[in-house]
A and B are shown apart, each in its own frame.
Chain A
Amino acid sequence: MNKIWLVMQREYLARVKKKSFLLATLLTPLIFPAIMAIFVWIAVEEKDNQSLRIIEVVDENKLFFLESSDQYAFSFSDRSDEEAKELVKNGDRYGFLHIPNFDLEDPKGITFFGEENPNMNLMSYLESSLKKKIEDQRLYESGIDPQLISDIRTNVDIKSITVNEQGEEKVSNATVNYAIGFVAGILIYMFIFIYGNQIMQGVIEEKSSRIVEILVSSLKPFQLMMGKIVGIAGVGLTQLLIWIVLIGGLTTIVTGYLGMKMPQQQAMEMAQVGMEQIPDSGVSEILQVINGIDFVTLVLCFVFYFLGGYLLYGALFAGIGSAVDAPSDAQQFMLPVTIPLIVSYMGLFVFVLQDPNSTASFWLSIVPLTSPIAMMGRVSFGVPFWELALSMVLLILGFLGTTWLAGKIYRIGILMHGTKPSYKTLWKWIKTNN
Chain B
Amino acid sequence: MLETQKLNKSYGSNRALTDVDLKVSKGVIFGLLGPNGAGKSTLIRIINQIIDADSGQVLIDGKPLAPYHISQIGYLPEERGLYKKMKVWDQMIYFARLKGLSQHDAKTRIKNWLDKMEMSTWREKKIEDLSKGMAQKVQFISTIIHNPPLLILDEPFSGFDPVNAEIIKDQILELKKQGTTVILSTHRMESVELLCDQVAMINKSHKILDGTIRQVKNSFRPEVFHVTVENPVKEIPAEWTAKEDEGAYHFTLPLSGKRPNELLEELMNYGQISRFQEVIPSMEEIFIHQVKSTHDE
Interface residues of A (CB under 8 A from B): 3, 6-7, 10, 14, 209-211, 213-219, 415, 417, 428, 434
- How far, in angstroms, from A219 to B85 measured CA to CA in the complex? 22
Known contacts A217-B73, A217-B75, A219-B98; A14 and B81 CB within 8 A of each other? no
- How far, in angstroms, from A6 to B95 measured CA to CA in the complex? 10
Partner of A6, one of B48, B94, B139: B94
Inter-chain pairs besides A209-B82, A213-B79, 20 sampled, C-beta below 8 Å:
A14-B85, A209-B83, A210-B79, A210-B80, A211-B80, A211-B82, A211-B83, A213-B50, A213-B77, A214-B75, A214-B95, A216-B48, A217-B48, A217-B75, A218-B70, A218-B95, A218-B99, A415-B51, A434-B51, A434-B52
Determine the main DSSP class of B at the interface with A.
loop
The residue of chain B having its C-beta at the shortest distance from the C-beta of A415 within the complex is: B50
Interface centre among A3, A10, A218 (most CB of B within 10 A): A218
The residue of chain B having its C-beta at the shortest distance from the C-beta of A412 within the complex is: B51
Whether B83 lies near A14 (C-beta < 8 A) is yes
Q: How many Å from the CB of A376 to the closest CB on chain B?
A: 35
Interface residue B268 (Cβ < 8 Å from any Cβ of A): no
Q: Which residues of B contact A428 (CB under 8 A)?
A: 12
Q: Which residues of B contact A10 (CB under 8 A)?
A: 94
Fill in one digit per residue for B82-113: 1 if any A CB lies within 8 Å of its CB, else 0: 11111000000011011100000000000000
Partner of B80, one of A6, A213, A417: A213
Q: How many Å from the CB of A383 to the closest CB on chain B?
A: 44
Known contacts A6-B97, A210-B77; A217 and B50 CB within 8 A of each other? yes
Q: Which residues of A contact B70 (CB under 8 A)?
A: 217-219
Interface residues of B (CB under 8 A from A): 12, 45, 48-52, 70, 73, 75-77, 79-86, 94-95, 97-99, 139, 142-143
Q: Which residues of A contact B94 (CB under 8 A)?
A: 6, 10
Whether B98 lies near A218 (C-beta < 8 A) is yes
Q: Which residues of B contact A7 (CB under 8 A)?
A: 98
Partner of A210, one of B52, B75, B81: B81
Q: Which residues of B contact A211 (CB under 8 A)?
A: 80-83
19 A-B interface contacts by CB (under 8 A): A3-B98, A10-B94, A209-B82, A209-B83, A210-B77, A210-B79, A211-B80, A211-B83, A213-B77, A213-B79, A214-B75, A214-B77, A214-B80, A214-B142, A216-B48, A217-B73, A217-B77, A218-B99, A434-B52
The residue of chain B having its C-beta at the shortest distance from the C-beta of A221 within the complex is: B50
- How far, in angstroms, from A219 to B94 measured CA to CA in the complex? 12
Whether A14 lies near B86 (C-beta < 8 A) is yes
- Summed over the interface, the residue pairs from A and B with CB atoms below 8 Å come to a total of 57
Q: How many Å from the CB of B105 to the closest CB on chain A?
A: 14
- How far, in angstroms, from A182 to B77 measured CA to CA in the complex? 50
Q: Closest 3 A-B residue pairs measured CB to CB?
A: A209-B81, A210-B81, A434-B52
Q: How many Å from the CB of B153 to the closest CB on chain A?
A: 12
Q: How many Å from the CB of B80 to the closest CB on chain A?
A: 6
Q: How many Å from the CB of A330 to the closest CB on chain B?
A: 20
The residue of chain A having its C-beta at the shortest distance from the C-beta of B94 within the complex is: A10
- How far, in angstroms, from A215 to B83 measured CA to CA in the complex? 11
- How far, in angstroms, from A428 to B13 measured CA to CA in the complex? 13
Q: Which residues of A contact B76 (CB under 8 A)?
A: 214
The residue of chain A having its C-beta at the shortest distance from the C-beta of B97 within the complex is: A6
Q: Which residues of A contact B51 (CB under 8 A)?
A: 415, 434
- How far, in angstroms, from A216 to B98 measured CA to CA in the complex? 10
- How far, in angstroms, from A161 to B95 measured CA to CA in the complex? 60
- How far, in angstroms, from A417 to B79 measured CA to CA in the complex? 10
- How far, in angstroms, from A405 to B9 measured CA to CA in the complex? 23
Q: Which residues of B contact A214 (CB under 8 A)?
A: 75-77, 80-81, 95, 139, 142-143
Q: How many Å from the CB of A381 to the closest CB on chain B?
A: 45
- How far, in angstroms, from A257 to B75 measured CA to CA in the complex? 62
Q: Which residues of A contact B12 (CB under 8 A)?
A: 428
Q: Which residues of B contact A210 (CB under 8 A)?
A: 77, 79-81
The residue of chain B having its C-beta at the shortest distance from the C-beta of A213 within the complex is: B77
Q: Which residues of B contact A209 (CB under 8 A)?
A: 81-84
- How far, in angstroms, from A110 to B141 measured CA to CA in the complex? 86
- How far, in angstroms, from A137 to B139 measured CA to CA in the complex? 90
Q: Which residues of A contact B99 (CB under 8 A)?
A: 218
Q: Which residues of B contact A215 (CB under 8 A)?
A: 98
Q: How many Å from the CB of B195 to the closest CB on chain A?
A: 22
Q: How many Å from the CB of B160 to the closest CB on chain A?
A: 17
Q: How many Å from the CB of B2 to the closest CB on chain A?
A: 15
Q: How many Å from the CB of A328 to the closest CB on chain B?
A: 20
The residue of chain A having its C-beta at the shortest distance from the C-beta of B84 within the complex is: A209
Q: How many Å from the CB of B110 to the closest CB on chain A?
A: 15
The residue of chain A having its C-beta at the shortest distance from the C-beta of B154 within the complex is: A213
The residue of chain A having its C-beta at the shortest distance from the C-beta of B44 within the complex is: A217
- How far, in angstroms, from A216 to B81 measured CA to CA in the complex? 13
- How far, in angstroms, from A10 to B95 measured CA to CA in the complex? 11
- How far, in angstroms, from A218 to B96 measured CA to CA in the complex? 9
The residue of chain B having its C-beta at the shortest distance from the C-beta of A425 within the complex is: B12
- How far, in angstroms, from A341 to B106 measured CA to CA in the complex? 44
- How far, in angstroms, from A216 to B95 measured CA to CA in the complex? 11
The residue of chain A having its C-beta at the shortest distance from the C-beta of B52 within the complex is: A434
Q: Which residues of B contact A217 (CB under 8 A)?
A: 48-50, 70, 73, 75, 77
- How far, in angstroms, from A290 to B70 measured CA to CA in the complex? 57
Interface centre among A6, A210, A213, A215 (most CB of B within 10 A): A213
Q: How many Å from the CB of B141 to the closest CB on chain A?
A: 13
Q: Which residues of A contact B52 (CB under 8 A)?
A: 434
Whether B98 lies near A6 (C-beta < 8 A) is yes
Q: Which residues of B contact A3 (CB under 8 A)?
A: 98
- How far, in angstroms, from A150 to B83 measured CA to CA in the complex? 74
Q: How many Å from the CB of B106 to the closest CB on chain A?
A: 11
Q: How many Å from the CB of B57 to the closest CB on chain A?
A: 14
The residue of chain A having its C-beta at the shortest distance from the C-beta of B143 within the complex is: A214
- How far, in angstroms, from A217 to B49 measured CA to CA in the complex? 7
- How far, in angstroms, from A434 to B99 measured CA to CA in the complex? 22
- How far, in angstroms, from A217 to B77 measured CA to CA in the complex? 9
Q: How many Å from the CB of A256 to the closest CB on chain B?
A: 41
Q: How many Å from the CB of B67 to the closest CB on chain A?
A: 8
Q: Which residues of B contact A14 (CB under 8 A)?
A: 83, 85-86
Q: Which residues of A contact B48 (CB under 8 A)?
A: 216-217
Q: Which residues of B contact A218 (CB under 8 A)?
A: 70, 95, 98-99
